[in-house]
Amino acid sequence: MKVKNKILDKSFLKKILSSKGAYLLLLPGMGLFFTFILFPLIYSLRMSFYKWNIVDIAASKFVGFSNYVRVINDPIFIRAALNTIVYALITVPGQILFALIVAILVDQKIKGRTFFRVAYYIPVISSWVIVTFLFEYLFGSQAGLVNFILKDILHLVDNKIVWLANPILVMIPLNLLGIWKGVGWSAVILLAALQNIPPDLYEAAVIDGAGIWHKITKITLPLLRPTLVFLVVVLTIGGFNVYISGLLMTKGGNPLNLSHFILTLMYKKTFTYLDFGYGSAISYLLTAFIFMVSVIQIKLLRRKVEY
């Protein structure tokens, strides 16, 4: 009680303790957040209903849902959406599978754990721009290592494959890049979850005569379930947002706009064709779709957890 009186005596403290103080602390951050995140979010919704004129905003025309109608009837968009969905369907399980293997192996009380953790994490901290060019070099250049391995070492193909000029083949390096860059991140999260599993569970299993495979499938995986659900949701969101690698490797959806992802198409429509309304409609459709998929995933996967 005495302490409390002392605080209230000081006028500066009074101000800080009253809500005004708290609002003062929030002001710079919330100011930026409203200006550059929340306001743009709403502004973009508005733009998606207009034939937006970037030079003279007053000349923009309200067009209702016509941008959205144009988007979903656009074969280029459909193709981009398919490419993106396939990308998510391949890279999400791919990252989780390899990350799971890495995490379980590193968890086996082996030496050099720090080394492995750092090594697997380097692609994660590398810039997308740089690693995209690395994959272009490995797949696409005349001295490409991938073709060398396929043709001269494994003798799987007779001629060098032209990876980057074909709208379907180019998806292979893009998907592999997505997996390769993300494994380390998921592995670190999984490793943390593995270390939370109490060791006596394993010891009990050993007493019952369980082998390693049995331990993994009967103890490890079920206990990792919440973490795996988290990874599926987060990685799916990331997968639908694939952007930089596609933009650079396909040089903006080439050939014939067949190799777009949703966001690279959004970029091209907006900043090359200056169709800002159309671009905003794409980004809102994507966000709505991502939101829907996340909710469904959480519902489906959570329900199973309860068993």
Partner 1 sequence: MLITKEERMFRIIAYILLICGVVITLIPFIYMISASFKSQIYTFEYPPRLIPRDPTLENYIKALGKDLFGRNFLNSLFVATATTISTIFISSLMAYAFSRMRFPGKEVFFYILLLGMMIPPVMLIIPQFVIAKNLHLLDSLWGLIVVYVSITLSMQTFLLRSFFETIPRELEEAVLVDGGNRWVIFRKIILPLSKPGLAVVAIFTFLYAWDEFPWAHVAIKEASRRTLPVAIALFQSQYLTQWGLLFAATTVASIPVIIVFVIFQRYFIQGLITSGLK
Interaction between residue 162 and partner 1 (CB under 8 A)? no
Of 23-42, binders to partner 1 (CB under 8 A) are 23, 25-26, 28-30, 32-33, 35-41
Which of 17, 86, 162, 296 lies at the binding interface for partner 1 (CB under 8 A)? Answer: 17
Interaction between residue 292 and partner 1 (CB under 8 A)? no
Which of 173, 185, 194, 220 lies at the binding interface for partner 1 (CB under 8 A)? Answer: 185
Which of 66, 76, 133, 293 lies at the binding interface for partner 1 (CB under 8 A)? Answer: 133
Of 222-241, binders to partner 1 (CB under 8 A) are 227, 230, 234, 237, 240-241
Cα(10)–Cα(267) distance, rounded to whole angstroms? 55
Which tokens belong to 273?
Answer: 């064709």
- The interface region with partner 1, picked from 12-20, 78-86, 166-174, 298-306 by CB under 8 A, is 12-20
Interaction between residue 283 and partner 1 (CB under 8 A)? yes
Which of 62, 65, 148, 273 lies at the binding interface for partner 1 (CB under 8 A)? Answer: 148
Burial (0-12, 13-18, 19+ Cβ within 10 Å), 169: middle
Interaction between residue 43 and partner 1 (CB under 8 A)? yes
Which of 118, 157, 165, 292 lies at the binding interface for partner 1 (CB under 8 A)? Answer: 118
The residues, ordered by sequence, that sit 6+ positions from 249 with a Cβ below 8 Å of its Cβ are: 132, 135, 136, 164, 170, 173, 174
What count of residues does the chain have?
307
Residue 25 Cβ, how far from partner 1 at the closest point, in Å?
4
Interaction between residue 273 and partner 1 (CB under 8 A)? no
> For residues 86 and 101, which CB has a smaller minimum distance to partner 1 in the complex?
101
